[in-house]
Amino acid sequence: MNVPTAVITGGARGIGRAIALDLAARKWRVAICYRTSEKEAADTAREIAARGGEPLVIRCDVSDPAAARNLILQVEQSWGRIDALVNCAGPYHRLNLLDETPAGWNEMFDHNLHPIFYLAHAAAPGMKARKQGRIINFSMANADQMIAQPEVTAHYIAKAGVLILTRTLAKLLAPHGITVNAISPGFIDSGSAPPDELAGMAKKIPAGYVGEVKDTVAAVKFLLSDEARYVTGTNIHVSGGWGI
């Protein structure tokens, strides 16, 4: 019996970690990659094992196309297959567009958009050969609105690009039994934002409260399930109504 295998970028912390631990509890093999969070990655690996999963921790800068390709190859060589690719990595910085630098601009695309192409391109052949696979990409809740974002412009454009890339991959890979979908969180208490900032945002969220990582995990769990076998090219908002 083949044990299901997942690759999660940004899996050491926050939403990525929560997804990894949920899969571990369901006895998945879980490969997490990290760029700088070495201690958090080690802690997450121990927790994956404690929950009954099998961890694999790989340090990788997925903005490097060769490194991203090698990440996929390393997992395939270790475990023979990749059933799910979950692209969680997505750093951002707040800076007025007119104060942005070329390096800062390029960084947002290099770490939010380009790795999804690199990783999907590398993982697709194995998934196609097995006629099955799941790819989940993370965008943001209002990225489909195409509105002005003076403080996070490049990040926002990259996340809008994630949605276009998701639909394109979905159309190309559907004939091979592979689904590709996006999840767009709003404000989620994942540990990356100060509590006072999140509390201040609650009044702007129609549901009236900030989401928890379990809300995002639930969406991932659905998209990885057999019940979602006919769902592809979609974008699930996990935002309590914010950004729609």
Residues serving a catalytic function are: 156
Distance separating alpha carbons of residues 9 and 88, to the nearest angstrom: 5
DSSP 86-127: EE---------GGG--HHHHHHHHHHHTHHHHHHHHHHHHHH
Q: Phi/psi class of residue 14: alpha, beta or left (left: φ > 0; alpha: ψ in -120 to 50)? A: left
Print burial letters for 118-139: b (CB count within 10 Å at least 16), e (below 16). bbbebbbebbbeeeebbbbbbb
Q: Which amino acid is at 17?
A: R
**Structural contact between residues 4 and 24, judged by C-beta atoms closer than 8 angstroms:** no
